[in-house]
Amino acid sequence: MARILIVDDDRAFRLSTAALLRADGYEVDGVADGAAAAEALRATRPDLVVLDLRMPGIDGLGVVEALRMWGERVPILMISGFGTVDAAVRALHLGADDFLTKPVEPDVLSARVADLLARRPLLEAAVANPAGMVGRSPKMREALAAIARVALGDTTVLVTGETGTGKELAARAVHDLSPRKHAPFIAVNCGALAEGVLESELFGHVRGAFTGAVRDRVGVFEAADGGTIFLDEIGEMSVTLQQRLLRVLQEREVTRVGSSRAAKVDVRVVAATNRDLPALVEQGRFREDLYYRLAVFPIALPPLRDRRTDIPLLVEHTLNTLRARRQGAERLACSPFAMRLLRAYDWPGNVRHLFGVLERAAVEAAYGRIEAQHLPVELRPVNDNAMALRDQRYRGTLPADEERAAIVAALEQTGGALAQSAELLGMGRTTLWRKLKLYGLAPSVTGEPEREAELG
């Protein structure tokens, strides 16, 4: 029996909704505000949350953002008596799964709740599927739902996306969720091999087919029989090999280089590219018939800058991996301000870039708490002055005017927040407060120590 938590400061709505959902066969708990919701989530671990938008204290959007930032996967149905398109869009981008406007028809609410609970396995898979893909932003959920739909058949799949978005992970997810999951999954990078080498790699060759072919070799199409072949960077394949690949896809048979005998193969092909294949077709650099053969079911993976709400989930997933890999790394964590900087960055290298930054930051932090100063300089807009301050202030070599400029830049970046500015600059709050008084900047900050006398 599913358990549902209703969070709404309108007592009448809370009670009537609880009665409706209990009549539908669910266990229901109700609370009146965001603070009580946090306690109830820890105590009862509900299967779904029905959440009001406007509440005293922490509003519904704040609850959604907090839950998603720290990796809570429970489905959320947002309801508001002040429904606007902007509110709905913001709620969905923060991680809500559906949005309704009051007054809500009972049958509509029942249907939406039932739909979310039925989709819960998919929503959970959208956080971490068998291949390790992570995300629950709208664009990522769309991509993962597409993977789940296409995996059960044998349809050829074309995965598109920028470098580092996880195209091979998507291909593995298609394989792992398919009936072929116990057969081989073989990945080939079509852009990393010369044409002759790639031809032999894909189709195999017989002894004497070319200089150096001293024995017969099985190609990956034969080796992956019954399984899945992932052709990465398919846009880099020569036109000659494109013709051979098209024949394999059409005839379901492969002929080794130097042989005239064709062998039947049963493989599923998942191709991927970061290139614009229709543009390559227009330029005559990619066969149009092969493009349509590959793009039977296209899946587009969004760049990380278009799914920033997934960054906390990706960070936690990466830190869990690093904790498991290194003994004594149980304390590894990311500070809230460092998380804010990670979410603000555009990530030109996408998820792969983020993973590399976190692995380096974990080393810098000695596998403790990752702070702003452990992140690469390009993630911090105050980089030059802050780096100079951090590197030179202990030696007393930083001129006063440069130190003041660094502090001013940090205050501008953090909106005048003392704790976050101190973290960004790599100094203690007490030290920063003293320097603020020294440079006449103290009135511009928030969160200063309550008892100034104790700071000297």
pLDDT digits (tens, 9 = 90+) for 354-398: 999 999 999 998 888 898 888 998 887 554 444 445 444 433 455
Report the candidate in 286, 277, 356, 281 with the shortest Cα–Cα distance to residue 314. Answer: 356
pLDDT of residue 134: 81
Query: What is the token pair recorded at 133?
Result: 């893909």
> What kind of fold does domain 308-377 have according to CATH?
Helicase, Ruva Protein; domain 3 (1.10.8)
Query: What is the token pair recorded at 46?
Result: 């509900």
| Residue owning tokens 């057969």 | 183
Helix/strand/coil for 356? helix
Instruction: Output 335 or 304, whichever has higher pLDDT.
Output: 304
Percentage above 70 pLDDT, the chain: 84
Helix/strand/coil for 43? helix
| Residue owning tokens 């609410």 | 109
Name the CATH code of domain 3-118 (choices 3.40.50.2300, 3.50.50.60, 3.30.2350.10, 3.40.50.720): 3.40.50.2300
Instruction: Output 172 or 419, whichever has higher pLDDT.
Output: 172
* Least-confidence region, from 128-137, 244-253, 438-447: 128-137
Helix/strand/coil for 298? strand
pLDDT digits (tens, 9 = 90+) for 348-362: 999 999 999 999 999
pLDDT digits (tens, 9 = 90+) for 189-233: 998 888 888 888 888 888 877 777 767 888 899 999 999 999 999
pLDDT of residue 271: 96
Domain 138-300: CATH class, spelled out: alpha beta
Percentage above 90 pLDDT, the chain: 27
| Residue owning tokens 């960077």 | 233
Domain boundaries, the chain: 3-118, 138-300, 308-377, 383-455
pLDDT digits (tens, 9 = 90+) for 62-90: 788 777 655 566 788 888 876 566 667 67
On the question of pLDDT at 128 being above 60, the answer is: no
Sheet containing strand 228-232, edge to edge, reads 185-189, 228-232, 268-273, 157-160, 297-300
Helix/strand/coil for 5? strand
Q: For 341-353, what is the mean pLDDT?
A: 91
Tell me which long-range contacts 387-395 makes (C-beta under 8 A, separation of at least 24). Answer: 389/425, 389/426, 389/427, 390/425, 390/426, 390/427, 393/427
pLDDT of residue 85: 62
Question: CA 120 to CA 72: how far, in whole Å?
Answer: 13
Residues 6+ positions from 121 with CB-CB distance below 8 Å: none
pLDDT of residue 72: 62
pLDDT of residue 111: 86
Whether 308-377 and 3-118 are alike in CATH topology: the answer is no
Element (H or E) spanning 171, and its range?
A: helix 167-176
pLDDT of residue 324: 84
Q: What confidence tier does 120 reach under pLDDT thresholds 50, 70, 90?
A: low
Residue 103: asked if its preceding bond is cis (omega within 30°), the reply is yes
